[in-house]
Amino acid sequence: MRFVITLLAALLAVVPSAHAGPSTRWENIGPNGAGGYMAFARNLVYVLPGAGQQVFRSADRGRTWRQGRLFPEMRGNALAADPARPDTVLVAGAEGGGGAGSVLRSVDGGLSFSVALRTPSEVQDVAFGGGFSYAAAAEGVYRGIGGQGWSVLPGSPASAEDVHVVGPDLLVAAGGVVHVLRAGKWSVSDVPADKITSLGDVVVARKFSGGVHLSSDRGVSWRAVSGPWKSTWILYSGITANGWVQVQTLDGHFISADMGATWKRTDAVAKVDVYTEIGSFPDLPDWQWVYGSGGVYATADHEHFKRVGVPGAHVLSLAVSGRSLIAGTMQGSYRTDLPVAAQEWDFDGTAPHAIGNRIGALAARDGIVLRGRNGYRGSQDTIFVERSLDGGRTWVITAEMPGNTRSLVFDPVLPSRVYLGAYLINAFYVSLDGGASFVPRVHAGLRGIKTIAADPGGIWLADAGGLYRSVDAGVTLKQVLPGRMNSVLVDPRDPRHVVAVGQNSVFVSFDGVGFVEVSGVSSEQLSTIAIGPDGVLYLGSISFEGSSKGVLRSVNGGRSWTVFGGPDVERGVEALLVSPDGRTLYAGTVSGSVHRRSLG
């Protein structure tokens, strides 16, 4: 029988040393690897990552960020902060399934939210102004006070996309054109619009395929805006707090300081790609924050940019090499010097010519760092293996092969041998030259490898089809456990101590042969496992519907587990790493960057 459950009493008596004095507090240490929709109120800025489920807040101009709790009710696509009560924040979005929408309200600065309004359709936008709060949806424009007491404004237009308060008036982009509520009466123009911005009485309306129009009298009269661009596709337009009109098309990004009379082309497209939104602190109108494809950046001229993106990256992998801590994310890899002092890390934005550049795996040994980059080239998923000799600052592609990867590991005996896990194909890869080239190991039983662990006697493969063992570098495989396995770990102090992680259970062996199941460890999906120098185990979990335990901990070799998480990591953990000195635990989280916790 392949599934062997044996555990010798003498081996069960081998218990790792007790762990002393861990901290109870997690700290978000970055990297600032995400952008999002922005809202400014006095000295505060809030950011909602695109289609995100939590809000980030900074009270120090973006030097540090506080991560709000997950709101599983919906996915947000707009937010607003009350200028009179900066701790009051609204998020608009769509609930899962059925096309319904919600407005969520926070009164604690974005830390937690509750449902303030439910609507039959997705809520496209929210805004504050004139003592009221507004929400745009298919059934019209809702109005409330401070985000409460909502009702549909009589006569408001259907299919509302954007709502904007301009002085005493309300301007709405709905049905592809501009609607205005002035002195209690609605009027509609033929000005194309799906987005509206304003400064004083000046209003800029844009539509992706309808051009840019400008009004100097709060929407009473309009004129079309023309410039040195030829494309009719308007990717972004608006007016900034210092009075610059901006237009971005397929031809580039242009700014005008004289209401469209003259234009200057900038380098913004090359630097941050497509703009989505611009905002400013009330006391710094010349210093604009841009939400673009590359994240959130600050700029004074749209030629020079400083990244101020929030620590909302989805971290897939972690590694330490010398003084470098490296995080692999959905966009690329980031690195910082240890000990981490700031949430802004170095970012390597370079990538091979492929679609999708997720750093699914990292491995470090003897000053060499390897990373597995998952991309899509031509008609197939492709793994790019890249090498760094300077702690993750620069990378060189060494090999590429079909598949995707979440696991890279050096052999503990032969450092020139490297194992690369793969999924989407029934194979994995072995390198005999330190990662310069790889040969496939094809096995019909493999369904997708999540983790490979190596010990002096061979390798363990945690695969979607079970736990496998090979003692000949993968030439032959033997299934040890059936069922989906998400991770596997070998105790570096005793290779007979092996811990395999299933969906909700943990399997433990103390002789490298027989395993016992610790069932019901988590109702969420278990993801990854790490071990400290003292033998204490840490286990990550992920929830796809709400909050998870985040991290669990075992001080007895995996026989039992206790929650070691907290609200900062409740969305889920994809990667875990204990520092070489055993004093710090790093958790790579789902859309929350890296969190650090002292282990005493």
Q: Are 78 and 69 in contact (CB under 8 A)?
A: no
- State the chain's mean pLDDT as an integer: 91
pLDDT band at 547 (very low <50, low <70, confident <90, very high): low
pLDDT band at 21 (very low <50, low <70, confident <90, very high): low
Q: Are 321 and 369 in contact (CB under 8 A)?
A: yes
Q: What is the 3-state secondary structure (H, E, C) of 347-379?
A: EECCCCCCEEEEEEEEEEECCEEEEEEEEEECC
Judge whether residue 51 has pLDDT over 70: no
pLDDT tens digits along 30-45: 998 778 899 999 999 9
C-beta pairs of 251-259 under 8 Å, 24+ apart in sequence: 253/302, 254/227, 254/228, 254/229, 255/302, 256/227, 259/202, 259/214, 259/216
Q: Which of 471, 473, 497 has the alpha carbon at shortest distance from 556?
A: 497
Q: Are 400 and 357 in contact (CB under 8 A)?
A: no
Q: Are 454 and 490 in contact (CB under 8 A)?
A: yes
Collapsing DSSP states into helix, strand and coil, what is residue 569? helix
pLDDT tens digits along 173-191: 999 999 999 999 999 999 9
pLDDT of 17 reads 35
pLDDT of 519 reads 92
pLDDT of 322 reads 95
pLDDT of 354 reads 67
pLDDT of 68 reads 87
pLDDT of 75 reads 86
Judge whether residue 4 has pLDDT over 80: no
pLDDT of 12 reads 32
pLDDT of 22 reads 62
pLDDT tens digits along 282-307: 999 999 999 987 788 999 999 999 88
pLDDT of 309 reads 80
pLDDT of 2 reads 36
pLDDT tens digits along 114-135: 999 999 999 999 999 999 999 9
The two three-digit tokens of residue 132, written as one number: 């009221």
Q: Are 521 and 567 in contact (CB under 8 A)?
A: no
pLDDT of 1 reads 36
- Evaluate the omega torsion of the peptide bond into residue 492 and state whether it is cis, within 30 degrees of 0: no
Q: What kind and span of H or E run contains 292?
A: strand 288-292
Vertex 18 angle, CA 16 and 21, to 5°? 145
Taking the mean position of all CA atoms in its chain, how far away is CA 450? 20
Rounded to two decimals, what is the model's pTM?
0.82
Residue with tokens 């913004």: 268
Average pLDDT over residues 514-522: 94
